[in-house]
Amino acid sequence: MKITFLGTSHGVPEVNRRCQSIMFEVGDKVYFVDMGTQSIEGLITRKIPIESVKSVFLTHMHGDHTNGLISFVDLCSWYFKEAKPSFYIPGSGEKAKELIGAWLEFNDSHIRDFEFNTVKEGLFYDDGNIKVTAYRTKHSAFSYSYVIEAENKRILVTGDFCGEGPVVDFPISVLDKPVDVAICECVHFGAGEYSKVLKGNENLKKMVIVHYNDKESSKIAINKLKEDLNMPFIVAVDGFELTV
């Protein structure tokens, strides 16, 4: 499994980082968690066929996680006509399809009959290639962390947490079994909050920080967290690739 971080910034882009978008390549299929940036450009520049995208999973509907979705649907509707992605939407897949369709119609285009589904808590996706399980968080009315299982690996993508941080929102039951990589946001609370729930947990094998800001105080706090947790620890930047 190859994970590519197309966007690693927080609510707004930084100088060299765009908003969150994470691409998973499993076999000959591609999956996305969030499309906060123009993710289709990441596919094209890497010469990855658009038709290989199987599904897109959104952690929640804030713009820094969804702003690339409309352009992706638009181009798959009128240009990449062999592409058949499915979309998994917190809150209401039906409503998302209606709103995107209305925007494309306003733009003198139309939406193809893509499959838009509503995310449900628990195991909600299994295509024989990957499994995805959703855990509710308190960041917004409908927000989720996801566990992705593929090739005998388990990857946690936290999405965004509420301001009270991991103590309230981290899906700690996920760590009842080994987690090969936890991809964790770090902007809505102090980085040190992770130590309260993760320090000493031997089931977490590696941590990747995304969705962080470039303030010096944040960098210091993240470096301190790295020391506290004493595990393989990466602060991701745009374009970073990780093979699991």
45-68 pLDDT, tens digit each: 999 999 999 999 999 999 999 999
Q: Whole-angstrom Cα distance, residue 226 to residue 234? A: 9
* Mean pLDDT, residues 162-191 taken together: 97
What pLDDT score does 181 carry? 98
**Strand, coil or helix: 185:** strand
What pLDDT score does 46 carry? 97
- Using a 10 angstrom Cβ sphere, with 0-12 exposed, 13-18 middle and 19 or more buried, the burial of residue 45 is exposed
Where does the pLDDT of residue 221 fall: very low under 50, low under 70, confident under 90, or very high at 90 and above?
A: very high
Two structure tokens written together for 127: 């295509």
Two structure tokens written together for 103: 């925007």
* Mean pLDDT, residues 171-179 taken together: 98
117-134 pLDDT, tens digit each: 999 999 999 999 999 999
Mean pLDDT over the full length of the chain: 97
Contacts of 215 (CB under 8 A, 6+ apart): none
* Mean pLDDT, residues 160-174 taken together: 97
Q: Which residue has the tokens 């969804």?
A: 66
244: how many CB neighbours lie within 10 A of its CB? 17
What pLDDT score does 80 carry? 98
18-33 pLDDT, tens digit each: 999 999 999 999 999 9
68-104 pLDDT, tens digit each: 999 999 999 999 999 999 999 999 999 999 999 999 9
**Greatest Cα-to-Cα distance within the chain, rounded to the nearest angstrom:** 56
The full DSSP string for 52-97 is GEEEEE-S---HHHHTTHHHHHHHHHHT-TT---EEEESS-HHHHH
* Mean pLDDT, residues 142-165 taken together: 98
What pLDDT score does 171 carry? 98
Report the candidate in 202, 200, 169 with the shortest Cα–Cα distance to residue 184.
169
